[in-house]
Copies of this chain bind each other. A is one copy, B any other.
Amino acid sequence: MRLNILGCYSATPRTMTNPTSQVLEIRNHVFLIDCGEGTQVQLRKSQIRFSRIKHIFISHLHGDHFFGLPGLISTFRLLGREADLHIYGPKGIKEAITLFLKLGDSWTNYKLIFHELEQKEPQLLFEDDQVQVSTIPLDHRIYTNGFLFEEKPLPRNLNIDEIRKHNIDQSQFNNIKKGVDGESDDGQKIPNVLLTFEPKAPKRYAFCSDTAYNENILPLIKGVDVLYHESTFLESEKHLGSKTKHATAKEAATIAKKADVGTLILGHYSTRYKSIQLFKAQAATIFENVVLAEDGKVIEI
């Protein structure tokens, strides 16, 4: 799993910083998460092929997470896209995008499929044999979801030496990979654990932005390998966090600690701060494994 931070600041695009957008490469998928203004250019800088994106997840309809979407959809058309594009986002997103296309008489030549969200309970959005994506309801000024991206368990790896030793027929391989015991040519039962190695553990990534400090998400993100949690403010501006339903670095770290996650990535920094190093310092007083998101950074999960 590889996370490309395209933009990780709040509010407005600036010369050197971009509003929220990420690309998660997970198994055979390239998922775009949020799409602030400038996402297209950040995608180009990151050399991510536009055509690989087939699913876009929008957390909420504030501009810094969403205003790059009409342009990206238009660019897909101009690039001659034919593949379906799935967009998951709050109710209203379809009307907004459709109106912008209509005003420009610029209908897409590919199929645009909207999955509008309005549930306040966690909800499965996408699933295939490799991954699944579900919502993490967040607590923000408007209806907002985070997203939980989960790899599905891989088949077990065959231990070829043991397979040969016990003369296991090839017709059993698929079942053995699924965990079924084997049978040797003389009818002896061979425990699966002898015939296979543990596959790589499936990874889980949780994206939680924008949100106030909210313990309701703990059971949903419990033990994820990586948690991206917004931290718009430092302690000195904690009062603004309560007012605008944003979190501080320490609050993000508290969530990370209580949920026992592997790594915490901080982002969605207010543009009022000249340096982001204090975010890490303040979070690290509570939770050790903290990474600062930065535009253009690639994080291997």
Chain B: which residue is nearest A63 at the CB level? B74
Within 8 A of B (CB), among A80-129: 90, 92-93, 95-96, 99-100, 103-106
Given contacts A63-B100, A68-B37, A96-B100, contact A74 B12 (CB under 8 A): yes
A67 within 8 A of B: yes
Cβ of B37 and Cβ of A104 under 8 Å apart? no
In the complex, what residues of B have CB within 8 A of residue A40's CB? 12-14, 37
A62 within 8 A of B: yes
Cβ of B71 and Cβ of A13 under 8 Å apart? yes
* Smallest CB separation, A168 vs chain B (Å): 54
Cβ of B99 and Cβ of A103 under 8 Å apart? no
**What's the tally of chain A residues with a CB closer than 8 Å to chain B?**
36
In the complex, what residues of B have CB within 8 A of residue A14's CB? 40-41, 44
Distance, CA A12 to CA B61, complexed state (A)? 22
A11 within 8 A of B: yes
Cβ of B45 and Cβ of A78 under 8 Å apart? no
A142 within 8 A of B: yes
In the complex, what residues of B have CB within 8 A of residue A68's CB? 37
A170 within 8 A of B: no
Distance, CA A241 to CA B32, complexed state (A)? 34
Of A78, A100, A141, most buried by chain B (CB within 10 Å of CB) is: A100
A38 within 8 A of B: yes
In the complex, what residues of B have CB within 8 A of residue A62's CB? 104, 106
In the complex, what residues of B have CB within 8 A of residue A11's CB? 75, 78
Distance, CA A12 to CA B78, complexed state (A)? 8
Distance, CA A61 to CA B101, complexed state (A)? 9
A70 within 8 A of B: yes
A188 within 8 A of B: no
A236 within 8 A of B: no
A15 within 8 A of B: yes
In the complex, what residues of B have CB within 8 A of residue A61's CB? 103-104
Cβ of B67 and Cβ of A71 under 8 Å apart? yes
Q: Which of B13, B66, B141, B142 contacts A41 (CB 8 A)?
A: B13
Cβ of A63 and Cβ of B106 under 8 Å apart? yes
In the complex, what residues of B have CB within 8 A of residue A106's CB? 62-63
Q: Would you mind naming 29 contact pairs between A and B with Cβ atoms under 8 Å apart?
A: A11-B75, A12-B75, A13-B38, A13-B40, A13-B71, A14-B40, A14-B41, A37-B38, A37-B40, A37-B71, A38-B38, A38-B41, A60-B104, A61-B103, A62-B104, A63-B70, A63-B74, A63-B100, A66-B104, A67-B70, A67-B71, A67-B74, A67-B100, A93-B103, A95-B99, A96-B100, A96-B103, A99-B99, A104-B142
Known: A13-B41, A105-B142. 6 other contacts (CB 8 A): A11-B78, A15-B44, A37-B71, A63-B104, A66-B104, A96-B103
